[in-house]
Chains A and B, each alone.
Chain A
Amino acid sequence: DVKVTQSSRYLVKRTGEKVFLECVQDMDHENMFWYRQDPGLGLRLIYFSYDVKMKEKGDIPEGYSVSREKKERFSLILESASTNQTSMYLCASKRRDRENQPQHFGDGTRLSIL
């Protein structure tokens, strides 16, 4: 079974702090994704990566950056946290060459910015 592990289930930070969210997958997947999930809205893509050191902006990249130094690890960085970044953050991974394979999700990090 694919396992996607997010380092924290709950996180509380202050406005202006630099915040790191970590995600690790154990299935050698090429593609990894970061989403945020807010009530009443579908998952929205922040960034994705299709290989080590490669990244692409998603639909809402403003205020975020990412890092993929190793294939199994994909980090989301909030450069200067703001209250409107309070949300549930979900990481996912997927094998690149199988279009009909699902994304595999972690259990999320609920981030609160005070």
Chain B
Amino acid sequence: KNQVEQSPQSLIILEGKNCTLQCNYTVSPFSNLRWYKQDTGRGPVSLTIMTFSENTKSNGRYTATLDADTKQSSLHITASQLSDSASYICVVSYSSASKIIFGSGTRLSIRP
């Protein structure tokens, strides 16, 4: 069964600290994996996309990794800011990118 699982469901950290969010998937054939950020009351916005051949990609303080062998991805946030408080959603495309599955997201709260 094609699935995308994210952990943890929720996370609270202090401003300035780092954190890592996890995404495990079981889809075939894999096409790409994208991380979205969804602020409260807003639609998701793409942060980064990883294709099969990419291991690491950065977007400012956000760094995504992909291990295609173990079917795992992580999103690392460095030096967190209050504006990082949001839900982070992992989305996996498969079957020549014609199909996608959304994870249920990790809700991140940054405390001052």
Count of chain A to chain B residue pairs whose CB atoms are closer than 8 Å in the complex: 44
Q: Answer whether A100 and B104 are a contact pair too, CB < 8 Å, given A90-B43, A105-B44.
A: no
Closest-by-CB residue of A relative to B43 is A105
Contact B51 A107 (CB under 8 A): no
Contact of A41 among B36, B51, B104 (CB under 8 A): B104
Main secondary structure of the interface of A (DSSP, over half): loop
Q: Mark B81-98, 1 if CB is under 8 A from A, else 0.
A: 000000001000100110
Structural contact, A42 and B43, CB atoms closer than 8 A: no
B: contact size bracket: 20 to 34
Residue ranges of A at the interface with B (Cβ–Cβ < 8 Å): 4, 9, 35, 40-44, 90, 92, 99-100, 102-103, 105-108
Tell me the B residues contacting A by CB distance below 8 Å.
4, 9, 31-32, 34, 36, 41-46, 49, 51, 89, 93, 96-97, 101-105
Subset of 25 A-B contacts with CB under 8 Å: A4-B43, A40-B9, A40-B104, A41-B104, A42-B102, A42-B103, A42-B104, A42-B105, A43-B102, A44-B102, A90-B44, A92-B43, A99-B31, A99-B32, A99-B97, A100-B32, A100-B49, A100-B51, A100-B97, A103-B46, A105-B43, A105-B44, A105-B45, A107-B42, A107-B43
